[in-house]
Structure 1
Amino acid sequence: METRTPVEGPTAPTSQGAPSSGSIATLTLGVEEEFLIVDAATWRPAPVASEVLSAAGGTGPRIQGEATRYQVELASPVAATADELRAALVSLRTVLAGAARELGCRLVASPVPVLNPSGPTKFRTDLARHLAIQGRFGELAQTLTACGQHVHVGSLDIGRAVAVANRLRPWVPTLIALGANSPYAGGRDTGHASWRTVSWSGWPSAGTTPYFETVSDYERAVRHLIAAGAALDPHMVYWDLRPSRKWPTLEVRAPDVMPDVDHAVLLAVLSRALVTTALWADREGLPVPPVSDEFLRLARWRAAHDGLEGAGLDPFTGDELPAAGLVQGLLKSVEPALSLSGDLDFASQAIDGMLRDGSWAARQRKVFARRGELTDVIRFLADETERA
């Protein structure tokens, strides 16, 4: 297998240089993180999300529940810098982790349950929408016990969000590989680095974001999903990239939730840099990379299977390359944007550290190899989730 890094894609700024001011230079960040609550004695998911939220001060714009009674979610305030974002995530994680401990539980950045809950899955029943999803999608609703990281980059109107998504599509598999954190599910090694990516792909409204020529095409696709019964409403559009229905942002939804705050911030600043680079390319009238949905489906699965330690598919040539090389290629393609935001040193060091120490999927497998106990893996994830 070749060890070269991928060629720099056509979304990179031209040799004229990147602009140093203007709206592109002031893109903001927001992050949503979903977590499991597990019993600290059995290490199985505990259906106490509402109690944890109450102990944390009640639901609000920053903390809330999810589709099952095992999950909670935090939503950071809008941040201008990586430091602001990190501080907000640490603060909100600390509140939720402390509330979980009060109830004899732990907050865990586990994208899927490593061990299954005791008994049937306990879904939320307090909202008609959740009941409707369970009724419509049946057994598929079992995969709702999934935890991802959603990065919001703004401000972008829907037109620019759709245009940017077209240019970001080739890099989504690399983000999945970099964020792979779910090798174990239901008491087994799945043989994948990100099982959440694979299991979540079963939803008819999830997976690769299609290419859209216009906003009208995008809105038409959303209406078709709803008309076909594949989504109850626009909020059920679970594509890896989507214009937010709530905020003036593009939402990057592909990666698993990260145990380490710094790696969560890394994925956020890389997402912003990709958006910035795409905006430059759009402004300069550069062609959008011609990448097919079929190729992206394959690249997406390969990233979920191999993670950071294996191989992936070059987004522009289709060649099989080491995943580490693809990550380095992504970093190279967004260097000017990272420099503009002041994030280049942080991103470079964080990526170097992951390439040296391994992905979170690889780290979980290393922990399991010591004693062959999956409870050790869950405890490890819980400890890392609480680490500031």
Structure 2
Amino acid sequence: MRTVGVEEELLLVDPDSGEPRALAAAVLARAAQDGGEDDVFEKELHSQMLEFATRPQSDMHALGAEIQRCRKEAARHAGDVGAVAAALATSPLPVTPKLTTNSRYEWMAREFGLLPREQLVCGCHVHVSVDSDEEAVAVLDRIRPWLPVLTALSANSPFWQGNDSGYASYRSRVWARWPMAGPTGLFGSAEAYHRLVGDMVATGALRDEGMVYFDARISRTYPTVELRVTDVCLDASTTVLVATLARGLVETAAREAAAGVGPMPHDVSLMRLAAWRAARSGVRGELLDPVTMRPRPAAEVVGALLDHVDEALVEAGDAERARETAESVLREGNGAVVQRRLLEERGSLGAVVTECARRTQG
């Protein structure tokens, strides 16, 4: 059974107004004082953000429990310094991001100008174990067309600087501004993958391999494939769904490669359009079918993904729960739908943020 780990980025906000607060250093210091398992927390590009990483898990129920525990611990430590933690992929309210003091982040600010200074976004990264770099590249080549469906399910960033962006996942559009981010072409081999990464670093535009922001990449830290296309999800059950589908995709792709089934040869230009469509529509409207690259209702495309990975889900014991959660997201809406509904009901973006902070804890 392949193991799965999740990294989530949370937004630190004022408990009353909902405005982001630059308190990550204080929250991390509080977590360090507390000891225990709280070394899961890390700083991020902006000091209004807090990241945590779960341990690798083979059981999705255990993964869900750990995500909930980490979210509650983040909320507790944030509360100790006068903030709350919210699983929001962008701040609904206007914000002036504050860069974390760090030589790496300062280098990025010098090299990329305004881009990192204004990019306060919170994502979710899923790590799935692989046996080798060759298997990892075989997986990367075969999961490409399916990744936008994960973006659509996770979409949780409809607002930007106090306005409705018109997107379900505006975070993904902001993230796409990085010149090294986005979908990739077919690699074919681990040698070709590493050669491209080396060439990218050699341009001088990247500080190191850690700045290769592909939609999915070989982790330089763990023996995993890292999927990087999803917003941080408002509901932890959606995070578990994304992680479950990610493992299903990796397992299915590895089996296809072993059986000699080649990857779909879609051009990167089509991949970018599929990613844009997913960010725009979320689970409302249409997505691009991963096989045909033609529009289909989102529910049908999500169903196609579930069918594509069904064998892997059944063998892992995840099929029933994955389908139930996916049906719930399609019926009730993802985080973007919930945020817009809350704005209609409560009348202010501040109220949206504070309610989302409450829901973050489950």
TM-score between the two structures when normalised by the length of structure 1 = 0.90
Specify whether residues 210 and 230 from structure 1 end up closer, same or farther in structure 2 by C-alpha distance, changes over 3 A only. farther
Matches within 5 A, 1:203-352: 203-352=178-327
Aligned-partner SS, 2:117: helix
Aligned-partner SS, 1:136: helix
> Which structure 1 residue ranges, 4+ long, deviate > 3 Å from structure 2?
58-61
Contact 2:32 2:39 survives alignment (8 Å): no
Paired with 1:91 and 1:362, the residues of 2 have a C-alpha distance of 25
Q: CA deviation at 1:145?
A: 1.6
Q: CA deviation at 1:82?
A: 0.3
Per the alignment, residue 91 of structure 2 pairs with: 113
Per the alignment, residue 37 of structure 1 pairs with: 12
Q: CA deviation at 1:293?
A: 0.5
Contact 1:143 1:199 survives alignment (8 Å): no
Per the alignment, residue 26 of structure 2 pairs with: 51
Paired with 1:273 and 1:148, the residues of 2 have a C-alpha distance of 20
Q: CA deviation at 1:115?
A: 1.4
- What is the identity percentage for the equivalent residue pairs of Structure 1 and Structure 2? 38
Paired with 2:239 and 2:22, the residues of 1 have a C-alpha distance of 25
Contact 1:277 1:334 survives alignment (8 Å): yes
Which blocks of at least 5 consecutive residues in structure 2 are unaligned?
A: none
Q: Partner amino acid for 1:69?
A: S
Paired with 1:130 and 1:51, the residues of 2 have a C-alpha distance of 19
Question: Which of 140, 162, 173 is 2:115 aligned to?
Answer: 140
Paired with 1:31 and 1:217, the residues of 2 have a C-alpha distance of 27
Q: CA deviation at 1:80?
A: 1.0
Provide the aligned C-alpha RMSD in A. 1.4
Per-residue CA distance 1:120-172 (angstroms, 9 max, x = gap): 431111x2111111111110113442111100000332221111010000101
Per the alignment, residue 353 of structure 2 pairs with: 378
Which blocks of at least 5 consecutive residues in structure 1 are unaligned?
A: 1-25
Aligned-partner SS, 2:42: strand
Q: Partner amino acid for 1:122?
A: K
Q: Partner amino acid for 2:4?
A: L
Per the alignment, residue 73 of structure 1 pairs with: 51
Specify whether residues 142 and 324 from structure 1 end up closer, same or farther in structure 2 by C-alpha distance, changes over 3 A only. farther
Contact 1:65 1:72 survives alignment (8 Å): yes
Aligned-partner SS, 1:242: strand
Paired with 1:67 and 1:327, the residues of 2 have a C-alpha distance of 32
Paired with 1:99 and 1:108, the residues of 2 have a C-alpha distance of 13
Contact 1:243 1:250 survives alignment (8 Å): yes
Q: CA deviation at 1:246?
A: 0.1
Q: CA deviation at 1:88?
A: 1.2
Q: Partner amino acid for 1:64?
A: E
Q: CA deviation at 1:61?
A: 4.8
Aligned-partner SS, 1:286: coil
Paired with 1:147 and 1:112, the residues of 2 have a C-alpha distance of 6
Paired with 1:129 and 1:225, the residues of 2 have a C-alpha distance of 18
Per-residue CA distance 1:217-252 (angstroms, 9 max, x = gap): 211221222233332110011111000000000001
